[in-house]
Amino acid sequence: MGTIAFVGLGVMGWPMARHLASAGHQLRLFNRSAEKAHLFAAAYGGTPCATVAEAAKGADALITCVGNDDDVRQVTIGPDGGFQSLADGALFIDHSTVSAHLARSLAQSHPRIGCVDAPVSGGQAGAESGQLAIMCGGTEAAVLAATPILQAYGRRIVRIGEAGHGQLAKMANQIAIAGVVQGLAEALHFAAKAGVDPDALIDAIGQGAAQSWQMDNRARTMVEGKFDFGFAVDLMRKDLGLVLAEARANGASLPVAALVDQFYADVQKMGGGRNDTSSLIRRLA
């Protein structure tokens, strides 16, 4: 087992780091709130570090799970960033959802490091259970080297293509989710207005052509008005912003994604920015 610098002990990062610790990896920890790193170390082991550069020194891999492009830049190439101390041939695995441009730029400007953009799907539940789907961009050699690490919390690990392609796959994932959640919200809203029993409806259509992960896991909680399941509207809007910017650059037409992005803006205005993405139904009530 190797030494891993792990940066970002949030909703996703904490359980992912826990799986790495359970697999026997030696962790060097950095979190913007230092207290979290100390709490993790007390519970699962590892060494809290004052900077990312300190965490990355001597590490076989630097793994980041942070918020946005600026955050990734700060922890990699910023002052006290990890790239200044990461050894030649070490791995950089980024689980953040950021722009494909940034992923390509980091890989191209730091060829001495094996850079893998590896956004995930499966939410907090998938991170907790170690059943995440991981979309990887990078060279074949880098992804192959990263795979034994990713297997600690990944159920399915797929190399999509070169650097940036993991992020592009995550964007496609978010496009698909946005349309499905809106369709489910409208179906449940329509049924409620028509006086149809929601439990009977879900039982009737949940195993047919309308079946989806969202139907299986969110339909009943949407009906019950429960929206506290991890991936927040604020984060979805950040991701859809990346999607729409990429679409403007590559000429893709995304009318549904653009519309659902505005619907999520409505949910934010209703005070639902921290609700999970199934809260789209709130604006139809």
Residues labelled as active-site residues: 170
Nearest C-alpha neighbor of 27 from the set 35, 11, 12, 43: 43
Q: Report, in angstroms and rounded to the nearest whole number, the Rg of the chain calculated over CA atoms.
A: 20
Rounded distance, CA 114 to CA 147, Å? Answer: 12
Q: How far is CA 248 from CA 117, 119, 158, in A?
A: 22, 21, 26
Q: How many residues does the chain have?
A: 285
Beta strands 3-7 and 120-121, pairing class = unpaired
CB 254 within 8 A of CB 243: yes
Helices (H) and strands (E) in the chain, counts: 12, 9
Distances (CA, A) of 170 to 16, 23, 135, 253: 18, 26, 7, 17
d(CA 45, CA 64): 18
Separation between Cα atoms, residue 63 and residue 59, nearest integer Å = 10
